[in-house]
Structure 1
Amino acid sequence: MTIVIPNEIIQATGKNEQLLQLELAIIMFRDYHISSAKAADFANLSLIEFRQEVAKRNICGLYRTCHAKLSTTHACKACTIGL
């Protein structure tokens, strides 16, 4: 499936295409629980780079196995070690 986002929409976000693609990958990872590997691939980043971007936003990097499942935006030390 291909999704086309009109240039006016991209411009309205104030982000370039690459950053918007990263933001969409993070949303899919955080809210729809796709794997970090799939999200990294979608964002055209290495897995390490994607995990670093996730950590910058204080999103739990290992949401599925995190012991602190109170919030999808919780970044516990156990999850961010080694990112």
Structure 2
Amino acid sequence: MNIVISDQILAATCMAEIELKKEIAAILLGKEKLTFVQASRLVEMNRIAFQYLLAKRQIPVHYGVDDFEKYIKNLQEMDRL
């Protein structure tokens, strides 16, 4: 599903498209409507950069079991390098 936000609405927020996406992702993550991975994909940011964004906004990260397992797998793969 695509959501179209008119240029008028975007201009009214005084935000660039990516900034608006960050706001939406942060709000939905904070309300636990999106997982960390889903929210980071929404803003097309890697996990570290998105986690930094959340830390600056003092938004706690709620990891689901799937997210946690993927995180552990990624750490194990990095350890092998």
TM-score, normalising length from structure 2?
0.71
Q: Which has the higher contact order (CA 8 A, sep 6+)?
A: 2
More helix by share: 2
Q: Which runs of at least 4 in structure 1 moved beyond 6 Å after TM superposition?
A: none
Structure 1 counterpart of 2:19: 19
Q: Would you say 1:54 and 2:54 are equivalent positions?
A: yes
1:63 shift after superposition: 7.0
> RMSD of the alignment, in Å?
1.5
The number of residues matched between the two structures is: 64
CA distance in 2 between counterparts of 1:5 and 1:25 reads 15
Partner of 2:71: none
Contact 2:18 2:43 (C-alpha < 8 Å) held by counterparts: yes
Q: Quick one: distance in 1 between partners of 2:27 and 2:3? A: 16
Which structure 1 residue ranges, 5 or more long, are not aligned? 65-83
The CA deviation at 1:60 is 1.2
Match of 2:77 in 1: none
